[in-house]
Amino acid sequence: MKAIIGSHGLWDIVEKGYEDLADENTATVAALEAWQRTKKKDQSALSIIHQGIDDDMFEKIANATRAKDAWEILKNSVVGVDRVKKVRLQTLRAEFESILMKENESITDYFTRVLAVVNQMKQLNEKMEDTRVVEKILRSLNAKFTYVVVAIEESKDIESMTIDELHGSLLAHEERMKRTQQEPMEQVLQAKFSFNPKGNDRGGRGRGRGRSRGCG
């Protein structure tokens, strides 16, 4: 808005304001015309300010009759908002640094949690490059991902790795772990179904009868 006002040659009137005439009736014609030109410039600047703000901001400056007064109100309001943003950003930074992957949490769910915080930080103008997020995720995964983290750090250029690439690599590893856990169970089930209790019973009874006849 400052740039727009400046492009119309009106920034001085917003920044410095102007003084009223002591008495319009006794003022010279030249002084009166100069004052009217200044007042017209001020109203033009005030109009630009009105056009460049939303309804909530307009309510705050609705009673301001001069551009300088309206600008001061807006500036103080923005300063207050900035303070709130700074406090919120500090909270999000702490949350980002402390977030850890839960024991039974999936890779996708963890990425969703981390990126939710990252997006909130970006909305507050925090610079969040992929490298920063990638490094954070790698150092906060749970213990079952330790060796794959080492493999990624040794085989890939972390600084050029995107968040999506990391998500894909970890997701593939998670799927392999799931298959590895399922295979022993499948082997147990196969062994169970291949076991023939009837055949074994007949064999056992046959051996028992044979021993009885031998003893007789």
- Whether 133 and 57 map to the same domain: the answer is no
**66-90 residue pLDDT tens:** 999 999 999 888 888 888 899 999 9
Structure tokens at 211: 């021993």
For residue 14, tell me if it sits in a domain. Answer: yes
pLDDT band of residue 216 (cuts 50, 70, 90) is: very low
Distances (CA, A) of 214 to 52, 140, 200, 208: 110, 71, 21, 10
Residue-wise pLDDT tens digits, 170-186: 999 999 888 876 655 55
Count: domains in the chain: 2
Do residues 98 and 178 share a domain? yes
Q: Say whether pLDDT at 43 is over 60.
A: yes
Residue 208 has pLDDT above 80, yes or no: no
Q: What pLDDT digit, counting tens, does each position of 91-118 carry?
A: 999 999 999 999 999 999 999 999 999 9
The predicted structure's pLDDT at residue 212: 45
Position with higher pLDDT, 54 vs 180: 54
Q: Are residues 104 and 53 in the same domain?
A: no
Question: Is it the case that residue 198 has pLDDT exceeding 80?
Answer: no
pLDDT of residue 39: 94
Residue 91 belongs to some domain of the structure: yes
Q: Are residues 36 and 133 in the same domain?
A: no
Confidence band of 25 (pLDDT split at 50, 70, 90): confident
pLDDT of residue 171: 93
Claim to verify: residue 25 and residue 112 sit in the same structural domain: no
Q: Say yes or no: 7 and 51 in one domain.
A: yes
Task: Indicate whether 103 and 153 sit together in one domain.
Answer: yes
Q: Are 18 and 65 in contact (CB under 8 A)?
A: no
Helix, strand, coil: what percent of the chain each, to 5? 80, 0, 20
Q: Report the distance separating Cα 20 and Cα 215, nearest Å.
A: 133
CA distances from 9 to 18, 38, 41, 51 (A): 15, 12, 9, 17
Separation between Cα atoms, residue 3 and residue 51, nearest integer Å? 14
Q: Are residues 53 and 139 in the same domain?
A: no
Q: Which domain holds residue 51?
A: 2-70
Average pLDDT over residues 198-213: 48
CA 196/CA 33 separation, integer angstroms: 113
Residue 129: the pLDDT is 95
Tens-digit pLDDT profile for residues 115-165: 999 999 999 999 999 999 999 999 999 998 998 899 888 888 888 999 999
Task: State how far the alpha carbon of 166 is from the alpha carbons of 61, 131, 135, 211, in Å.
Answer: 49, 10, 10, 68
The answer to whether position 208 is within a domain reads no
Cα-Cα-Cα-Cα torsion 49, 53, 55, 57, nearest 10 degrees, comes to -80
* 98-136: burial string, b at 16+ Cβ within 10 Å, e else: eeebeeeeebeebbebbbebbebbeeeeeebebeebbbb
pLDDT computed for residue 215 by the predictor: 44
Judge contact between 76 and 47, C-beta under 8 A: no
User: Tokens standing for 163?
Assistant: 């968040």
DSSP state of 125: T
- Would you say residue 201 has pLDDT above 90? no
Q: Looking at the domain assignment, is residue 212 inside a domain?
A: no
Q: Which backbone phi and psi does 45 adopt, to 5 degrees?
A: -65, -40
